Amino acid sequence: MQLITHLPGWMSQALRFCRWIFMEPSAIPGSPRRLHAAHSESAESVEPLVVRIYELALHRTPSLNERVHWTNAVVSGQMSISGLVNAVFNSPEAEQLSGSSRLLPDVPNGKLVQFAYDSILGRGAMAAEIVHWDHRIRQQHLGRDVVLTSLFTQRANEVLVQQGPVFNPDVCDVMGTGRLINVKDWQKRANAVTEPVKGAEPKVYRSLAFSRDNNEILVSAVASLYRGGDYIEQFMENITSQTIFSSCCELIIIDADSPENEYEVISSYMQRFPNIVYHRASTRIGIYEAWNLGVKMARGKYVTNTNLDDLRRRDSFERQVEILEKFPFVDVAYQDFYYSFDGKASVAKTAAVGVKSDVPVITPYNLMRSNSPHNAPMWRRSIHDDVGYFDASYRSAGDYDFWLRCVEAGKVFYKINDPHVVYFVNPEGLSTQPNTRGHEEGKHVTQLHGRVMISSRLLGSDEDFLAEASHAVGVSINVSEAERAAEDWRYAVSQRAMRLCSIASRNNSAAKK
């Protein structure tokens, strides 16, 4: 048996712990005294020691067989306690675990996790994912190599086994609810709706009323048109029936070289509505290039995108404009929406079916998780001066990228708690058809923006975070080990820091009086 002074630091700590458990009188660091093999210990006293040694050496609890094996070995005198410590701490499992814990030891957990998601999964790590893995590494003693292996396995399953996600046009994720709706269930609900259906009643607030008497164009509705023959008549009727369309709106249609001669229908509406603008591209262009053309042609203060296969309640434009007019600090107005699997169902019937999103009030982190404003938002045309236009290199994630750029630039989003639009789950749509590249584009967007949006205070070390929080409030913030055991401990510290700032502010105000 070697002297304690010759043992590695972790083993020395374990041996001192063993002595403390058995109340040996000479448990002094560096003491040359050998540990005794036995004090006629009982299984009841040895088994807790076996468990603790496993926790220290292997960061796990031993199995029943392991507890019985080592306990019997010590109690029977076949092995000393120090021999038990040596056996467990020098086991192949302990050696492997020790090596994994040394993986990039100078890089904080958060930065390692973000890099791993970026490099292995090809997407940005969400804030909750960084917190989750950091907690498991710190509190559950998970080896960093296990984290990397888990992510690698996930990616391998995507590429080698499943060949990526499987898109099913008959099933849709109801945003913000965690639920799925399929075409059969939706149709069953629709069949139960009795005719005639009363129109969905809008929520009107007199205090939000705005002036529309000066003939100013407030809204430029932009539509990208390609193979829209099945929906063009319904679309034109729906948009021109908006309550404020004639008085303060324009409709800009960008024909992306569609082969279906939709202009025949459009021209009949143009004869009745001089505020319809039609532009046909000479070649096939993508949806975001079409939107950019429309925005550049727009004369309105506000812009909204209008999809040919979606529908709006008659007061949809009005509900959005009143928010942007009433609250100058708001840059984008968005809302929940109803889901439809029937492209010809009315707004009223779809509302009666009642399959509705529950998108959150937007924050930078939850916008990374879900493109909440994707359906029929309205925004100030002026924000393009700050954040640019839609990235036309995307096929279906250009709006997702744009909204993330907006939130990075500090633009304010306002959710209207009144669903006044219908989203048609079109099996031929860009974002829902099988084999779309939209999934990979979405991953690229989170990868691109995650590097900017994830706070350095979440990625750095515990010590740096506490030092910065303490500096911000001018008071040293101490956190106990018990408090750090919580997964969201940094959030709790941030809340504490804000309360300290509030208290200091009130005290300063009182002192000045």
Q: Is the peptide bond before 259 cis (omega within 30 degrees of 0)?
A: no
Distance between CA 386 and CA 397 in Å, rounded? 20
* Residue of 104, 116, 107, 109 whose CA lies nearest to 142: 109
Cα–Cα distance for residue pair 71/172, rounded to 1 Å: 56
Instruction: Name the packing angle between helices 9-22 and 81-89 (round to 10°).
Output: 150
What is the spatial distance between Cα 373 and Cα 332, in angstroms, rounded to a whole number? Answer: 9
Burial class (CB in 10 A: 0-12, 13-18, 19+), 73: middle
Residue 79's Cβ-count burial label (10 Å; 0-12, 13-18, 19+) is: middle
Helices (H) and strands (E) in the chain, counts: 23, 12
pLDDT band at 38 (very low <50, low <70, confident <90, very high): very low
Mean pLDDT of 48-62: 84
Question: How many CB atoms neighbour CB 488 within 10 A?
Answer: 12
pLDDT band at 381 (very low <50, low <70, confident <90, very high): very high
Least confident of 170-174, 223-227, 498-502: 498-502
Q: Are 308 and 225 in contact (CB under 8 A)?
A: yes
Tell me how far CA of residue 117 lies from CA of 82, 301, 332, 338, 365, in angstroms: 42, 40, 30, 33, 16
Q: Residues with Cβ < 8 Å from 178, sequence gap 6 or more?
A: none
Cα separation, 479 vs 462, in Å, equals 10
Residue 512 has a pLDDT of 65
Least confident span in 302-306, 324-328, 431-435, 478-482? 431-435
Half-sphere exposure of 139 (CA within 13 A, CB side): 16
Among the listed residues 295, 325, 39, the one whose alpha carbon sits nearest the alpha carbon of residue 207:
325
Task: Give the helix, strand, coil percentages of the chain, each rounded to 5.
Answer: 50, 10, 40
User: Is 294 buried (19+), middle (13-18) or exposed (0-12) by CB count in 10 A?
Assistant: buried
Q: Which is more confidently placed, 163 or 302?
A: 302
Per-residue pLDDT, averaged over 413-441, amounts to 78
Mean pLDDT for 9-36 is 40
Phi first, then psi: give them for residue 353, nearest 5 degrees: -60, -40
Write down the mean pLDDT value for the chain: 86
Q: Cβ distance 143 to 469 under 8 Å?
A: no
Buried b (16+ CB within 10 A) or exposed e, 417-447: ebbbbbbbbbeebbbbeeebebbebbbbbbb
What pLDDT is recorded for position 410? 96
Domain 200-426: which CATH number of 3.60.21.10, 3.90.550.10, 1.10.3720.10, 3.50.50.60: 3.90.550.10
- Return the HEC string of 79-144: CCHHHHHHHHHCCHHHHHHHHHHCCCCCCCHHHHHHHHHHHHHCCCCCHHHHHHHHHHHHHCCCCH
> What pLDDT does 79 receive?
87
Closest by CA to 291, choosing from 256, 335, 250, is: 256
Ordered alpha helix ranges (H), 327-397: 347-353, 364-369, 383-387
pTM score, two decimals? Answer: 0.78
How confident is the model at residue 258, as a pLDDT?
96
pLDDT tens digits, 269-288: 999 999 999 999 999 999 99
Please spell the DSSP secondary structure of 400-447, one letter per residue: HHHHHHHHHTT--EEEESS--EEEE--TTSTTTSTT-SHHHHHHHHHH
Question: Of 393, 237, 404, which Cα lies nearest the Cα of 306?
Answer: 237
Of 10, 7, 79, 8, nearest in space to 50 by CA = 79
Mean pLDDT calculated for residue range 252-263: 96
Banded model confidence at residue 383, pLDDT cuts 50, 70, 90 = very high
